[in-house]
Structure 1
Amino acid sequence: MGASTSSETVSAEQKEAENVAASTGALPTLQKAFSKFADSETHAIPIEKLQKCFNFAREGRNYHTENTTDSLPLLLDHLGSSLVDQFFISDDNGINWVEFVKGYNKCCSRVSASIFLNKFIRVFVDVTKKANLDVHLEFESDDVDCKVSGYLLPKHVFLLLSICWAMSWDCRNLKGKGNLSVPDLSHLVTSAVDDKDEGGFDVLDCDVLSLEVQIPVGKFVTWVMSTVPCLPDCLKRYFHARLQIAVTEGDELASSDSSSVGEISSTTVCDILTPGRAWAISITQRNTVNEEISRAFIGSGAGLNDNLIYRSSTHGRGLNRFWSHVEGYHGPLLILVAASSRNGHEGNSAIRKFVIGALTNEGLENKDIFYGTSGCLYSLSPVFHLFPPTGKEKNFVYSHLHPTGRAYQSHPTPVGVAFGGTPGNERIFIDEDFSKVTIRHHAVDKTYQSGSLLPDQGFPSY
């Protein structure tokens, strides 16, 4: 395919490139895209056509971010040219078939997560250079696995995350319609900064984007790999989606329709599970949960109600009401809790609001013991953290109602919902009235990874 026919000799380089593309299932799409884009005389794709294919900017498209910055639209304007420059090699005629396939493979073939993150950082650096934005990152060579040195400021982390969100959003709005609305991502930026290592700033009373904290790129890479490992996948999906829509929709890709189809509103569809928090959870998971959350919050925004099983403000508070809605459901379950506490340590009586979450791979059961096969805990606000399983214990979930028809118990088991720890000493425990949530220090828990679910959490419970 491409520039060759069955009677022509196919080079080993072309065979290898086509085999790699075929292994990802993308070869038919690439063949159609090349036929559409290539010049009939030169049998090569003009660079401008490919840049237009990957270009994010649209006539009439507006941008909005919760954390206002004027730099994002300018960066997105250069996204198409940076992708072409980073992944494709051209000659005087443009990009031939072999280089077109090889370019796709560079972005979308199966490589280690660390190498692909390196590629994504290269794209970000190239975009910022074209936008004349000073980002202090440098690569030692052009090798795909070469070391990157330098640092990021919090505002640069926000821009990088915003580009990822924009690409995720665009994959769900393939016709190019709608206005981009980037949600509040400060909880992710704060997580990357890590307040414990950077002067102990107050995450409850701080504009993290205004900080001049230097985040070493090595530390940022470690944070991505351990906390949001699916973040670079946004680039792969965007890359493939843009080629796919160019093949199937034709010139509609360049539509100037600026209607609100697919628009994500910054007002959110849920007070607790905001688009920014939902997206953060989705990029921690390499399973169907990622797809379900993305579809609900990065698509039309209407998917939440279709997947919502229980909400205390709608269905009533308390374990019995909760159980009447979750009983019999056996799929993945994301439980979020919004609460507040009064921190009395060192004379500080300020009320602290927080949001935490737990993800289970199966539904809940009425048992007086812990159960489950896997799961994760989350700190969602004011700072984002992921606490995956340790593999040491399997006390993932505890959900116990009042026993019926039983005799007196001298040592009754707790009634409520819990995650991690042991009976009576749970990492998270929600009482039967849903009026109090107890969060204990991670030292009591060997099921989930250690770390503070709340900022500055000490040994006492909250």
Structure 2
Amino acid sequence: MGASSSTEQVSVEQREAESLAVSIGVLPMLQKAFSVLADPQTNTIPLRSLQQCFSLVFENPTSEATAIPPNFQGLLSHLGSSIVDLFFLADKGGVSWIEFLKGYVKCCGRMSASTSFNMLFRVFAMAAVKADISAKLLFESDDSDCKMSGFLTPTDVLMLLWMCYVMSLNSKILKSFGGKGDYSLPDLSHLVLSAVLLCAEVGNDLNPWDCDILSMAVPLPAGKIHMWALKTVPSLPDCFTQFVHGRIQKTITQKNELEPSCLSGHDLSATAVCNTNLLTQGRAWAISLTLRGTLSEEILKACFPSCSDGTSDSLLYRSSFHGKGLNRFWSNVEGYNGPMLILVAASLGDVHDGDGNVKKWILGALTHQAFENKDMFYGSSGSLYAISPVFNVLSSSGKEKNFVYSHLHPTGRVYDPHPKPVGVAFGGSIRNERIFIDEDFAKVTVRHHAADKTYQSGSLFPNQGFLPVEALVLDVEVWGLGGRTAKEMQNKYKKREELFTEQRRKVDLKTFSNWEDSPEKMMMDMTSNPNRVEREDR
């Protein structure tokens, strides 16, 4: 290995490189990986070995909705060599220990969000050139934070997102890193259309419900693409950094790093089951890119069953299965004390009328707390999502805290002169909610962001306009993102409530020893003098 036990033989450059690795807690892992990859004679890593470490073999890919560009596989095949050429400086013998450390820090070290996106775009641009895709992104220098110019087409954005998806799939979900397998690429048209609408001047001619991304030739300026990515998918560079880290870490346990392991095919069936839900793999991955930490991991587990141990059930409620209505909804989410993702599929018009112009869309809300039966707004944080056909995230504005409203029919009241609305809502104010789902889960009302100061401004579906829009609810899903612990606590809560309900149904007359303790005597006393006060024996 390149590191020496003698402090006199360690150069200043090596000390600095090792100090950076220590600061991010990866020095022992890098030492083991270097000892596996390096040639014992030259004490350097051959370029071919390092390129193979980052190579992706993705044979016979299929796509859910969009045709795959013919040069996409070539793009992936040049990913490994592009990473090595950009970040790992090699001499005649190969990559030394110092350059191996520097390369890893360049890829996975601490950096600003803008720099991390610049790094990801550089990898994509070099791999695209090697795959004979015309160069569209230009960089002023080799510095990681240099200015980027040029443009991307919608097809380029789709391939960039798919490249990141494959890296994310490779490093987080599959049990084996790399390898050969037949896997389906998700439908990411909602993300591409989000970039097109924000970065290009398409006007009202674009119909998000009916457009072919591969045939769109509108240029998307590099600067605007950079800003769109920072705002909409801030965690996208994590796909690359986690891929690099995972691949290097895998060399420690992999018996032969030059032969990619073969992936099993059971993930295809899992994909098919997942995509029958509103939260498809593509939508789940898009939402995960707006989050970090545990929530991001839980959303991925919800739709990538191969990443989970199969013991948790994240889907708490689905109206098409459990039945529509607030009571059915409440019986399935009550007692779940953790973050939840609510998805609502709606249509502007009746889908059963046979009208081909009916517009369907999906919106979502992420809550960070349990649902409560209150006649007022509550909550500490959350986000709204426009999910389909165009993706957008509206996080908290910090001005108000009207995050969630969930109110059932009040109990114990005979008459209320000013009854509060019964239903589920997000943002806005009472009777002027940003999103309101009625008691029967039959209709959803969406209002302009001017009525809401809790969440950021933006449309929740294309061409929303200023007036309130009332749409038919097609389906509602609720996903629990609190992990196994939250689900186990909810199961205990339900069992306890079932026990209490069963006990309340039973009245054991043997417990009443005489007439004074009997329920008949108590009822007669209440009927004769209902205002009489009795002291309770304790």
Question: TM tier, shorter chain?
Answer: over 0.9
What is the CA-CA distance between 1:199 and the residue it aligns to?
2.5
Residue aligning to 2:187: 184
* Aligned mate of 1:395, from 383, 402, 414: 402
Q: Which moved more, 1:9-18 or 1:249-258?
A: 249-258
Post-superposition Cα deviations, 1:192-227, rounded to whole Å, max 9, x if no partner, equal 011784222111121133111111011111111111
Shift of 1:180: 2.9
Report the counterpart of residue 127 of structure 1 in structure 2. Answer: 127
Partner of 1:57: 57
Between 1:173-182 and 1:31-40, the stretch displaced more is: 173-182
The question of 1:328 aligning with 2:328 is answered no
The answer as to whether partners of 2:52 and 2:257 remain within 8 angstroms in 1 is no
Q: Deviations over 1:358-385 (max 9, x none)?
A: 0011111111100101000001101101
Task: Please report how far the alpha carbon of residue 304 of structure 1 lies from its aligned counterpart in structure 2 after TM superposition.
Answer: 10
**Partner SS state of residue 418, structure 1:** strand
Higher alpha-carbon deviation: 244-253 or 47-56: 244-253
Structure 2 spans left out of the alignment, 5+ residues: 470-538
Amino acid at match of 1:179: D
Aligned partner letter, 2:252:
V
* Partner SS state of residue 252, structure 2: helix
Matched, 1:198 2:202: yes
Q: In the aligned structure 2, how far is the partner of 1:82 from the partner of 1:315?
A: 50
Letter in 1 for 2:226: V
**Distance in 2 of aligned mates of 1:304 and 1:166:** 26
Return the offset for 1:257. Answer: 3.1
Q: What is the alpha-carbon distance in structure 2 between the residues aligned to residue 305 and residue 135 of structure 1?
A: 46
Structure 2 CA distance, aligned partners of 1:22 and 1:262? 37
Deviation at 1:246, TM superposition (A): 1.2
2:101 counterpart SS class:
helix
Greater shift, 17-26 or 117-126, is seen at 17-26
* 1:154 alignment partner in structure 2: 154
Give the match for residue 463 of structure 2: 456
- 2:60 maps to amino acid: N
Q: Is the 8 A contact 1:330 1:363 kept in 2?
A: yes
Shift of 1:81: 0.5
Q: Where does residue 250 of structure 2 map in the other structure? A: 245
Is the CA contact 1:269–1:301 (under 8 Å) kept in the aligned structure 2? no
1:377-396 mapped onto 2 (5 Å cutoff): 377-396=384-403
Name segments (4+ residues, structure 1) moved above 4 Å: 301-305
Say if 2:346 and 2:444, in contact at 8 Å, map to a contact too: yes
Task: Write the deviation string for residues 257-304 of structure 1: whole angstroms up to 9, x where unpaired.
Answer: 353044463564433111000000000001311011123334527769
Q: Secondary structure at the match of 2:52?
A: helix
Structure 1 distance, partners of 2:7, 2:441, is 73
Counterpart residue type for residue 63 of structure 1: P
- One of 274, 282, 285 as aligned partner of 1:276: 282
Q: Which amino acid aligns with 2:288?
A: S
Cross-structure match for 2:302: 296
Please report how far the alpha carbon of residue 305 of structure 1 lies from its aligned counterpart in structure 2 after TM superposition.
6.9
TM superposition shift of 1:349: 9.8
Residue number in structure 2 paired with 1:257? 262
Q: 2:33 aligns to what SS in structure 1?
A: helix
Query: What is the aligned counterpart of 2:293 among 276, 287, 290?
Result: 287
Q: d(CA) in 2 for partners of 1:50 and 1:227? A: 33
Q: What's the secondary structure of 1:419's corresponding residue? A: strand
Mean Cα deviation higher: 190-199 or 368-377? 190-199
- Whole-Å Cα distance in 1 between the matches of residues 154 and 445 of structure 2? 32
- Residue type of the partner of 1:106? K
Which residue in the other structure is 2:174 paired with? Answer: 173
2:222 alignment partner in structure 1: 217
Amino acid at match of 2:293: N
Does the CA contact (< 8 Å) of 1:3 and 1:43 recur in 2? no
> Secondary structure of the residue that 2:256 maps to in structure 1?
helix
Q: Distance in 1 between matches of 2:42 and 2:83?
A: 22
TM-score, normalization by structure 1? 0.94
**Correspondence for 2:319 among 304, 312, 323:** 312
Secondary structure, in 3 states, of the residue corresponding to 1:166?
helix
**What is the 5 A alignment of 1:61-80?**
61-66=59-64, 67-69=66-68, 70-80=70-80
Moved more, 452-461 or 258-267: 258-267
- Separation in structure 2 between the aligned mates of residue 184 and residue 266 of structure 1, nearest angstrom: 13
**1:288-325, Cα deviation, whole Å (9 max, x unpaired):** 11011123334527769721111111211111111111
Read off the aligned partner of 1:198 and give its amino acid letter.
Answer: V
What is the correspondence of 1:382-461 to structure 2 with a 5 Å cutoff? Answer: 382-461=389-468
2:53, 2:257 within 8 Å by CA — same for their partners in 1? Answer: no
In 2, Cα distance between equivalents of 1:255 and 1:107: 22
| C-alpha distance 143-252 of structure 1, shift in aligned 2 (>3 A) | closer
* Percent of aligned pairs with the same amino acid: 54
Q: Which moved more, 1:251-260 or 1:420-429?
A: 251-260
CA distance in 2 between counterparts of 1:319 and 1:291 reads 29
Asked if the contact 1:262/1:301 (under 8 Å) is kept, the reply is: no
What is the letter of the counterpart of residue 426 of structure 2? F
Q: CA deviation at 1:453?
A: 0.5
Given that residues 140 and 148 in structure 2 are in contact (C-alpha distance below 8 angstroms), is that contact kept between their aligned partners in structure 1?
yes
8 A contact 2:194–2:392 mirrored in 1: yes
Q: CA deviation at 1:251?
A: 2.0
Amino acid of the structure 1 residue aligned with 2:431? G
Q: State how far apart, in whole Å, the 1-side matches of 2:52 and 2:364 are.
A: 41
Cα distance in 1 for partners of 2:466, 2:203 equals: 21
Residue 164 of structure 2 aligns to a residue in which SS? helix
Cα shift at 1:79: 0.6
**Cα displacement (A) at 1:110:** 0.7
Match of 1:265, SS? helix
After the TM superposition, which of the residue ranges 364-373 and 298-307 deviates more from structure 2?
298-307
Q: Which runs of 5+ in 1 are unaligned?
A: none
Amino acid at match of 1:152: L
Q: How many residues align?
A: 456
Measure how far apart 1:23 and its partner are.
Answer: 2.0
CA contact (8 A) 1:34 1:45 kept: yes
- The 8 Å contact of residues 296 and 304 in structure 1, kept in 2 or not, is answered as no
Letter in 2 for 1:375: G
TM superposition shift of 1:19: 1.6
Aligned amino acid, residue 458 of structure 2:
G
Contact 2:362/2:386 (<8 A) preserved: yes
What aligned pairs does 1:5-44 form with structure 2 within 5 A after superposition?
Answer: 5-6=5-6, 8-44=8-44
With the length of structure 2 as denominator, give the TM-score of the two structures: 0.81
